[in-house]
Amino acid sequence: MCTVKYIPQVEYKECAMLKHGILGLLNYGDMTGYEIMSAFRDSLQFFWTANTSQIYRELQTLKSKGFVNDRKVEQKSRPDKNVFSITESGKDELKSWLRDENYGNQNMGLLMKVFFSGELSPEENIERFRHFKYACTEYADGLLKADEAVEAYKSVVKSGPNKAAYWNMTVSFGKKYMQMLSLWCDECISELEVMSDEDTCD
């Protein structure tokens, strides 16, 4: 039986998301702060946004920790620009974060990790999705107790039977959401298994 270190909803610190998002982008290649901002806007905005000041502030923090370096590049007709690159310790930090099964309390944490999971092997990622599906199943099973609680409160709270219907709607959302996540995990696992087989053949 696997040990679940997270559930599908937990609070995740924004600074951690931004830090590792920047490291993930720099792992693809050297970038200026503006190019990092553009990459967030063009590829990550559907689950994470960041403004320019946040990105430049975090770049300086990453530099102070030795996770990134920067160098000045002269330009003839434009101001010089700073180009950032990830260091070996930055790559180690990125992979450590990717392997950490604590996604925090928002699914944005999960999606950010999946986005950069090409740094890990298909086998590692298959195991990640299996664990996450298990967590979804356990969470959904826990919602069965919510059904019992709704029925119990209906007889205690003197607010009319119609109001309990909204409690049921909330529980129903949770169940369907977990079903969706579970199905998504199955689809990701299937695709990764094909990738793993292809790597074995090569």
Residue 20 has pLDDT above 70, yes or no: yes
Q: Which of 73, 95, 119 is the last residue of a domain?
A: 119
- Look at residue 2 and tell me if it is in a domain: no
In tens, the pLDDT along 119-132 reads 999 999 999 999 98
* Overall residue count recorded for the chain in this entry: 202
Q: Are 20 and 110 members of one domain?
A: yes
167: exposed, middle or buried (Cβ count in 10 Å: 0-12, 13-18, 19+): middle
Q: Are 143 and 116 in contact (CB under 8 A)?
A: no
CATH number (domain holding residue 106): 1.10.10.10
The fraction of the chain above a pLDDT of 90, given in percent, is 44
Which amino acid, residue 193?
E
- Look at residue 7 and tell me if it is in a domain: no
Q: Are 84 and 29 in contact (CB under 8 A)?
A: no
- Look at residue 5 and tell me if it is in a domain: no
Q: Are 172 and 131 members of one domain?
A: yes
Write down the mean pLDDT value for the chain: 83
Which amino acid, residue 154?
K
CA neighbours closer than 13 Å in the CB half-sphere of residue 24 = 24
Q: Are 74 and 144 members of one domain?
A: no
- Count Cβ atoms below 10 Å from residue 168 Cβ, excluding itself: 14
Q: Are 162 and 108 members of one domain?
A: no
In tens, the pLDDT along 154-183 reads 766 665 667 777 888 888 898 899 999 999
Q: Which of 62, 90, 119 is the last residue of a domain?
A: 119
- Look at residue 34 and tell me if it is in a domain: yes
Q: Kindly list the strands in the beta sheet with 68-73, ordered across the sheet, starting from the edge strand earlier in the chain.
A: 31-32, 81-86, 68-73
Domain that holds residue 179: 122-201
The fraction of the chain above a pLDDT of 70, given in percent, is 81
pLDDT bucket at 22, cuts 50 / 70 / 90: very high
Q: Which of 119, 151, 182 is the last residue of a domain?
A: 119
Q: Are 135 and 46 members of one domain?
A: no
Q: Are 70 and 145 members of one domain?
A: no
Total number of domains constituting the chain: 2
Q: Are 66 and 94 members of one domain?
A: yes
Q: Which residues on adjacent β-strands are paired with residue 91?
A: none
Which pTM was predicted?
A: 0.72
Q: Are 113 and 176 members of one domain?
A: no
